[in-house]
Amino acid sequence: MKSLMRNDKPSIYKLTSEEHGVRVDKYVSEHCPDLSRTRAQKLINDGYVRVNGDVARAGFKLDIGDTIIVEIPPAEPVLLQPEEIPLTIIYEDEELLVVDKPAGLTVHPAPGHSSHTLVNALLSHFSGLPDSGENRPGIVHRLDKDTSGVMVVAKNVTAQENLMDQFKARTVIKRYQVLVKGHLSPKEGVIEAPVGRDPRHRQQMAVVPESRGREATTEYTVIRYIGGFTLLEVRPLSGRTHQIRVHLKAIGFPVAGDNVYGVKAAPLNRQFVHASVLGFILPSTGEYREFTSPLPEDLRQALEAIEALP
């Protein structure tokens, strides 16, 4: 299923027999992972959703064979302001920079959160970052707000397109250190399950049927067992929203400190997910490089506290 982003061409869907009778607002929110039901209803009310060529109504019930066309209007522009937020730069050349993002820092502005993001910090350090018109200058991938670790940022359009192509082709190496509740066995494994919007909790993601999600694959290796927890190296081969956290929850080993998909863990005040390695081809030289970020102090202290438990 195609993930809708702002300014995409209209997406076209054909209703299948098992979905007969579903409300159009429910159908749109379930088939477009980036849309909540409230957002879907607003698009319908504003005339951006059509059924069989006619403008849809939110309560309209669909029939077998109906054609649904969904259009995402351009986002309202947000005035991005530079902010003096400290940045830890791991590497920099004329094309890009690699940063060590701290936990608690959102990557880019979004509705209701227009300031104090990594983008605002970047704008205070660099001028002329490429912007696709979505308030994400230089951004080619994301980390969750409470995930720390390595990120790459493009400094020009050519580098941005090059890096985005590498992510799309899945040639970028991504390794995370993740702490989960319980002793995960076997010590190596692969999780393959579609990820999409949770039909019961629309602000969350979940493992869903293939028809309602996007394919996702996550590899893991046990680093060591610590008390009642397992420290993992996790390698997501796809880049779905909240993929690591959703996949680990689905197999019964929720992420420690994750208040949404995981379990609370006394020594932690945020999810134990750290992007420790990022490897890709430098656009400037064609050389493959890997960049690393050590485990932050708060996560190191959490491991020590768990090890000290009786």
Which of the residues are catalytic? Answer: 144
Instruction: Kindly tell me if the per-residue pLDDT of 77 is higher than 90.
Output: no
Q: pLDDT value at position 1?
A: 27
Say how far apart CA 77 and CA 260 lie, in whole Å.
30
Look at residue 111 in the predicted model and tell me its pLDDT.
63
Q: Which residue has the higher pLDDT, 251 or 310?
A: 251
pLDDT digits (tens, 9 = 90+) for 199-222: 777 678 999 998 888 999 999 999
CATH code for the domain defined by 11-70: 3.10.290.10
Name the pTM for this structure: 0.79
Query: What type of residue is 110?
Result: A
**CATH for 175-275+301-308, among 3.30.2350.10, 3.30.505.10, 3.40.50.880, 2.60.40.420?**
3.30.2350.10
Q: Report, as an integer, the average pLDDT of 70-80.
A: 76
Q: How confident is the model over 14-48, as pLDDT tens digits?
A: 887 777 888 998 888 878 866 777 788 889 988 99
175-275+301-308 and 75-169 share a CATH fold: yes
Count of CB atoms situated within 10 Å of the CB of 224: 11
Identify the three-state secondary structure at position 17: helix
* 3 pLDDT more than 50: no
| For the chain, percent of residues with pLDDT exceeding 90 | 68
- Token pair, residue 216, equals 């996702």
Per domain, the residue ranges of the chain are 11-70, 75-169, 175-275+301-308
Q: What are residue 110's DSSP bridge partners?
A: 113
Is pLDDT above 80 for 250?
Answer: yes
Higher pLDDT, 189 or 211: 189
If one looks up domain 75-169 in CATH, what number appears? Answer: 3.30.2350.10
Mean pLDDT check: name the lowest of 109-113, 193-197, 274-278. 109-113
Residue 235 one-letter amino acid: R
Q: Would you say residue 176 has pLDDT above 60?
A: yes
Do the Cβ atoms of 293 and 274 come closer than 8 Å? yes
Mean pLDDT of the chain: 90
Q: Which ranges in the chain belong to alpha helices (H)?
A: 24-31, 37-45, 118-125, 157-168, 243-250, 297-308
